[in-house]
Structure 1
Amino acid sequence: MATPVTGSRTAPAVLAWSRDLVRPPLLHAVQGLPATVRHIAGYHLGWWDHHGRPSRTSTGKSVRPALALLAAESRGAPAESALPAAVAVELAHNFSLLHDDVLDQDTTRRHRPTAWAVFGTGAAILTGDALLALATDVLATSAYPATAHDLSTAVLSLVEGEQSDLSFETRDDVTLAECVSMVEHKTAPLLAAACALGATFAGAPPDAVAHLRAFGHALGVAYQHVDDLLGIWGDPKTTGKPAHADLVRRKKSLPVVAALTSGTAAGEELATRYGTADADPARLAALVERAGGRDWSESEATRLLTEALDHLTATDPTPRAAAELTALAHLIVRRDA
């Protein structure tokens, strides 16, 4: 890890700062939605309960807004200059979460019922649609309206990755290369866009924007490796999801596909058991680990972290922002899995 810079904040402090800075313009934007979806959006974002009463529920980590704000600061601009980018990527991210919960039939997020489980599938989908439209509008009416196209490109990539992920559920021949490509489309684009948009709002030159985009992309793939590890071995008290959640759904996640394609005896047993409905999730987790899936994902996350930080260094960032982006990157990759 980079040498600490005097005055730089810890990653948790950066995330708290990002949430506090982004909340007012985010709330202002959501208040402009039609009442039929505004209530559901606020519930999903953790601002109030299903009756509309103020809530102290977690509002999410605010990773993407933090990346946008710090990307701007890394170019010597004030964080506030990138607030439209931060708000837009947070809205787009929550669009994807609302739809993901429906697609995956997840009934819990952030330690309480998901929006679709409370308000219904159609209402949750329409609320996600509204958040995406709002994200585009935030950028289209900003000082950099062309960035709306950049966000749309990222979302289209996300949709392509989501479609691939869904197709994997009915296939037993998913390759590791296909799985990595799916993640590069589904998870990485919004983190990459957050960094690139933040840099753009800071007036950064094209080469700096490209390197910061690559920083976010590598970090996004690493993020998914860690998320997939947590989906198998994460503590439900921390993740807010049931133990072995991804295995119960027979998800073709990165460590699972690495294990299935490992050519090991454990991988072959995993393939046999993964096709049965009554397999013990704890046994499946042990097989993924024995087949090398856990070690592979952990090592890939570490490699991608190094790659991301190399791109950050190439931009010659301001010292404090560089230290805080580095701390945030390490936090993302070193979550307790």
Structure 2
Amino acid sequence: MRTSQQITRDVIAFMEPALREATALLGQPVRRMAEYHFGWIDAEGRPSTPVGFRRRPALVALLCAGSSAQAWDAVRTAAVAGTLMSAAGTVHDDIIDCEMLRKGRPTVWTVFGVPAAIQVGVALHCLAFELLAQDPRPVSAVLARRAAYAIRECCSGQVRDLETEGSSRMSLELSLELLESTIALPTAGVCVAGALVRGAGEEEVAAAERFGYHAGMAMAFFDDWEGVWGTSRDALEDRFADLRRRKSRAFAAIALQSRGPARDQLAAFYDDTAEPTLDQLRHVADLIEECQGRSWLEERIREHIRLAQDVLPQAVPDPVAQAELAVFVDAIADELP
């Protein structure tokens, strides 16, 4: 059985030619900027080697379709479209969150400017729907509607996220809704895409959706954990970006529900507006841990991994694909203590 890293490498190797072919449809200079985002070229347009890419949407879409070459070929267009939509969201998120670093390189907006980066994200979204529209199979129309719904829900979640920055009165419910709309529901959508393309019945499609939701929540919670306590991607991204922006996160909301001096210090940080130092951010991470925010977060990651694993046999009948999805989901928590 392949490891999670091997599965990811195989998915990328399968996807990259089709993704490059799709990206080549973009007009210049947007095409060059998109190619920079995907890591294929540097800021001057010279070929480069991409690092740090996970291709999660493509991976779950392909494996929910099956394990054979025929199954992967059938869902390739949907997987490419999902990857383009994810990239569009990332380009826009980096602007919203003032992210300076992505995959070890300056983000698109810092290199090409905010107006250009906005257009790159819009073009990637449009390209994804263009690909789905060109697919003559009736299922593509279903996937397009689901994708449109997921994107507009994600947009609403992002606006709500911005409205709650910089306050100790953050809502746990709103923080959880944000993770659902931006990661869990889109992940559920690409899992459904894989199931629909292989002709799954209603029960299997519903199970694939539940699997994708729980796998997406596990990934979303782990991304939050990795952004504060992880170390494996330190050279690729800003580990304390969410704390620096005082963004509303579920683990922080849980910590702020506690009582005591540590909670009061944490509340003072979230109500402040001064730019924090690296030492202050490390101290805030310690305060969250002291207030049980970290332990709560780690429990949620493991809970959603378990729920995803529980529904997996009903979601994916192909034994090889099922086993590889199990490996992938288990690996989400590899860094946890």
TM bin, normalised by shorter chain, reads over 0.9
For residues 236 and 246 of structure 1, the distance between their equivalents in structure 2, rounded to whole angstroms, comes to 17
For residues 243 and 71 of structure 1, the distance between their equivalents in structure 2, rounded to whole angstroms, comes to 31
**Number of the residue aligned with 1:164:** 160
- Alpha-carbon spacing, 1:118–1:242, altered in 2? closer, same or farther (3 Å): same
1:24-45 Cα deviation digits (max 9, x unpaired): 1111111001112000000001
**Number of the residue aligned with 2:288:** 288
- Alpha-carbon spacing, 1:170–1:316, altered in 2? closer, same or farther (3 Å): closer
Matched, 1:109 2:102: yes
Matched, 1:218 2:211: no
TM-score, normalization: structure 1?
A: 0.93
Which ranges of structure 2 fall in alignment gaps of 5 or more residues?
A: none
1:275 positional shift: 2.1
Instruction: Please provide the CA RMSD for this pair.
Output: 1.9
- Alpha-carbon spacing, 1:178–1:82, altered in 2? closer, same or farther (3 Å): same
Secondary structure, in 3 states, of the residue corresponding to 2:125? helix
Quick check: 64-73 or 214-223, which moved more? 214-223
Residue of structure 2 aligned with 1:124, choices 106, 117, 121: 117
1:316 positional shift: 5.6
- Alpha-carbon spacing, 1:153–1:324, altered in 2? closer, same or farther (3 Å): same
- Alpha-carbon spacing, 1:88–1:208, altered in 2? closer, same or farther (3 Å): same
Amino acid across the alignment from 2:51 = S
TM-score, normalization: structure 2?
A: 0.93
Residue of structure 2 aligned with 1:39, choices 23, 32, 39: 32
**Number of the residue aligned with 2:170:** 174
Amino acid across the alignment from 1:241 = E
1:250 positional shift: 1.3
**Number of the residue aligned with 2:19:** 26
- Alpha-carbon spacing, 1:316–1:269, altered in 2? closer, same or farther (3 Å): same
Matched, 1:321 2:321: yes
Is contact 2:95-2:114 (8 Å) kept?
A: yes
1:60 positional shift: 1.2
For residues 49 and 67 of structure 2, the distance between their equivalents in structure 1, rounded to whole angstroms, comes to 32
Quick check: 167-176 or 140-149, which moved more? 167-176
Matched, 1:78 2:58: no
1:170 positional shift: 4.7
Residue of structure 1 aligned with 2:262, choices 266, 280, 290: 266
1:237 positional shift: 4.7
**Number of the residue aligned with 2:4:** 11
Is contact 1:176-1:261 (8 Å) kept?
A: no
Listed as ranges, the matches of 1:133-144 within 5 Å are 133-142=126-135, 143=137, 144=139
- Alpha-carbon spacing, 1:234–1:42, altered in 2? closer, same or farther (3 Å): same
Quick check: 269-278 or 12-21, which moved more? 269-278
Matched, 1:153 2:146: no
**Number of the residue aligned with 1:331:** 331
Aligned residues: 330
Secondary structure, in 3 states, of the residue corresponding to 2:330? helix
Quick check: 96-105 or 141-150, which moved more? 141-150
1:175 positional shift: 1.9
Quick check: 57-66 or 296-305, which moved more? 57-66
1:273-313 Cα deviation digits (max 9, x unpaired): 32232651111111000000000000011011111112212
- Alpha-carbon spacing, 1:59–1:270, altered in 2? closer, same or farther (3 Å): closer
- Alpha-carbon spacing, 1:107–1:278, altered in 2? closer, same or farther (3 Å): closer
1:241-277 Cα deviation digits (max 9, x unpaired): 2343322221222221111123444223210232232
For residues 107 and 89 of structure 1, the distance between their equivalents in structure 2, rounded to whole angstroms, comes to 24
For residues 67 and 283 of structure 1, the distance between their equivalents in structure 2, rounded to whole angstroms, comes to 37
Is contact 1:193-1:213 (8 Å) kept?
A: yes
Q: Percent identity?
A: 33
For residues 51 and 14 of structure 1, the distance between their equivalents in structure 2, rounded to whole angstroms, comes to 32
For residues 63 and 237 of structure 1, the distance between their equivalents in structure 2, rounded to whole angstroms, comes to 16
**Number of the residue aligned with 2:307:** 307
Amino acid across the alignment from 1:233 = W
Residue of structure 2 aligned with 1:100, choices 93, 98, 120: 93
Secondary structure, in 3 states, of the residue corresponding to 1:49? coil
- Alpha-carbon spacing, 1:314–1:57, altered in 2? closer, same or farther (3 Å): closer
- Alpha-carbon spacing, 1:237–1:60, altered in 2? closer, same or farther (3 Å): closer
